[in-house]
Amino acid sequence: MWKGRSAFARPRWRNLLWLAFLFLVLLWPIQRLVEGYYLEDLNRRNGQTLDLFVANLLGVLQRYEVLPQILGRLPDVQQALLTPTDEDVLQTSNEILQRIQQQTGADVIYLMDTQGLTLAASNWAQERSFVGNNFAFRPYFQGALTGGVGEFFGLGNISSKRGYYFGSGVYVDGEIIGVIVVKVDLDFTETLWGKTPEQLLVTDKNGVVILTSNADWRFTATRELTTQEQRSVTEHQPYTSVKPVPIGLKQQDWLTFDKNLETIGWQVSILAPRRLINQPVNTAMAVAAASLLAILLTLGLLMQRRRHYLERITMDAHAKRVLEENVRTRTQDLQTLNSRLKQEVLERESAQQELVRAQDELVQAGKLSALGIMSASISHELNQPLAAIRSYTDNAKILLEKERIADVHKNLELIAELTERMASIISHLRAFARRDRLASEHVALQPAIDDTLALNVKRQRNLQVEIVRDIPDATLWVEAGETRLRQVLNNLISNALDALSEKGFPRKIWLSTQVQDGWVILTIRDNGPGFTVEALEQACEPFYTTKTTARGLGLGLAICATLIQALKGRLVFANHPEGGAEITLHLRQISSTVNLSSNEDRFI
């Protein structure tokens, strides 16, 4: 009897060892799968946050980029450089710069002569005024004085505040007589981050932290500076220290998400603590291990029952009764275990519902991110004409005092044109957001093409682009909207000019039309680099762009496609066999006797 029980006992331990080995083997791929799932979720969320922060940062910088060039054309600013000893002229310049600084929200605006001496500044009345200080050692002054665009980020020598500087030369009769600088305060971007486990990190081209949500990391170095970089820091003094201390981060404690800003040489990073991954992974693994263990135990119990069945055959009636009692005991255990499994299944279904709700919240967050990026685009589009209107208004006041009525009339016409442009921008962006389906008009195609070419004639001449037209003289009437058609044509021509700016001479754009089966087909072709395979697939998707200047948000072609679809037309993108991009616009032809009207450009 003892020998028989020993023979049955030995295989039981062997089976338990196999089950333990199987348990460990199955846990490893489950852990990899769970960790990959939470890592992908974290990557997606931080990627959206990173894109939104970069869009806001670039929007702030682009808002002030052209302001120095506009201010350099003001007569009072030029007069201050021509007569630097006239106190009344300098005081007038101080007051003008102070007023413009308050209107635009810039940190400081100041005017320097060709030697770097500050003659006038918006903070002239403050204790730490820039007037009388020399900033010739700053890169933005040197860049602007040579005829270029001076840009620089650094710590102010007088104010001890961080800022981004835009400098531009002041020209009189084609010669630079001074430099005007606009300083932008970027400190508020750190306060927008909020209190989250993730940390913000913005480094410049030297690898030094300039913007961060952690004050202890500010102006620390993420890498060792080269000898040339150390000389540049000593010369231009952008930081609090000539030799920034290392940041001292442990790479194994953080997950990093980076995005490079090529135009200014910055890198924006989000550092997420690794515990954001480890905690949910450990919880999920505990649930998975418990479930897997329960399954393996069930399998072991089934194997045990089979062994008991074999023993029952060889045992006598007394042993059979004992075995039946054991079976009943085991059955009760199984029922208890099954009840626990059912409870765990219910808990997992509840967790799945919570996951679905979390995914819905992520979708909503994605929509908010898209609206944030679009708001940066609207701000950029409206602030430029607003700044120009302010400049023309100030000029008109001065010209009116000098009784130069013709010049005042010209300035008022320019202000009216800029106002109409702003109204058109607001109307069409609102229509794009609501997916409005407006009525069509009876529109002549040739005048719309002529107006578009006239709007872009300056860029065309600067780039030396030849326009080749193959358009009949007879008027082609199409079903469209006056403003919507011009908006589409302007976007397509502007994109063609952008593409041609990246290639050498000769540069050409071909425009041709044909009428076919009730359609007027307009073909716009250039001899630029053409579309990539990815661009052809995603050309009409919002926020997709291939421009290397980091100034486009990728909304142009998406808006064009939406407008053309509303008119039941088509927009086709392709590459020409001889090279370059080819865009075909299909519009419905209508008889010249049909009279369509639209309230598209009316204000509601």
SS3 267: strand
Q: Are strands 118-121 and 108-113 parallel, antiparallel or unpaired?
A: antiparallel
In a shared domain, residues 111 and 201 = no
Q: What is the pLDDT of residue 192?
A: 67
In a shared domain, residues 529 and 568 = yes
pLDDT tens by residue, 544-584 = 566 654 445 455 677 777 777 777 788 888 888 888 889 89
Count CB-CB contacts under 10 A for residue 298: 14
Q: How many domains in the chain?
A: 4
Could you give the percent of the chain with pLDDT greater than 70? 82
Would you say residue 117 has pLDDT above 80? yes
Asked, for residue 18, whether it belongs to a domain, the answer is no
Asked, for residue 455, whether it belongs to a domain, the answer is yes
In a shared domain, residues 470 and 513 = yes
Asked, for residue 323, whether it belongs to a domain, the answer is no
Would you say residue 421 has pLDDT above 60? yes
In a shared domain, residues 125 and 253 = no
Q: Report the CATH number that the domain containing residue 249 is assigned in CATH.
A: 3.30.450.20
pLDDT tens by residue, 329-358 = 888 888 888 888 888 888 888 888 886 676
Q: Report the CATH number that the domain containing residue 521 is assigned in CATH.
A: 3.30.565.10
In a shared domain, residues 428 and 445 = no
Would you say residue 191 has pLDDT above 80? no
In a shared domain, residues 175 and 237 = no
In a shared domain, residues 148 and 84 = yes
Boundary-marking domain end, from 249, 273, 297: 273
Look up residue 589 and give its DSSP letter: B
Count CB-CB contacts under 10 A for residue 311: 15
Q: Using 50, 70 and 90 to split pLDDT, how confident is the model at 245?
A: confident
Q: What is the pLDDT of residue 377?
A: 45
Asked, for residue 456, whether it belongs to a domain, the answer is yes
Boundary-marking domain end, from 434, 452, 472: 434
Q: What is the pLDDT of residue 523?
A: 93
In a shared domain, residues 558 and 580 = yes
Asked, for residue 315, whether it belongs to a domain, the answer is no
SS3 184: strand
Asked, for residue 449, whether it belongs to a domain, the answer is yes
In a shared domain, residues 520 and 414 = no
Q: What is the pLDDT of residue 499?
A: 83
Q: What is the pLDDT of residue 383?
A: 65
In a shared domain, residues 566 and 446 = yes
The arithmetic mean of pLDDT across residues 184-191, rounded, is: 78
Q: What is the pLDDT of residue 100?
A: 93
Query: Where is pLDDT greater, at 381 or 509?
Result: 509
How far apart CA 61 and CA 414 sit, in angstroms, is 25
Q: Using 50, 70 and 90 to split pLDDT, how confident is the model at 157?
A: confident
How far apart CA 430 and CA 232 sit, in angstroms, is 47
C-alpha angle with apex 390: 387 to 392, nearest 5 degrees? Answer: 110
pLDDT tens by residue, 441-480 = 778 888 888 877 877 777 888 888 888 888 888 888 888 8
The arithmetic mean of pLDDT across residues 27-35, rounded, is: 77
Boundary-marking domain end, from 135, 156, 184: 184
Q: Using 50, 70 and 90 to split pLDDT, how confident is the model at 494?
A: confident
In a shared domain, residues 458 and 571 = yes
How far apart CA 317 and CA 351 sit, in angstroms, is 50
Asked, for residue 158, whether it belongs to a domain, the answer is yes
Domain that holds residue 257: 188-273
> Is the pTM above the cut of 0.85?
no
In a shared domain, residues 463 and 568 = yes
- What are the two backbone dihedrals, phi and then psi, of residue 152, each rounded to the nearest 5 degrees? -165, 140
How far apart CA 140 and CA 137 sit, in angstroms, is 9
Asked, for residue 406, whether it belongs to a domain, the answer is yes
Would you say residue 433 has pLDDT above 70? no
Could you give the percent of the chain with pLDDT greater than 90? 11
Q: Which residues pair with 168 in a beta bridge?
A: 180
pLDDT tens by residue, 353-389 = 886 676 445 434 444 444 454 454 456 456 656 877 8
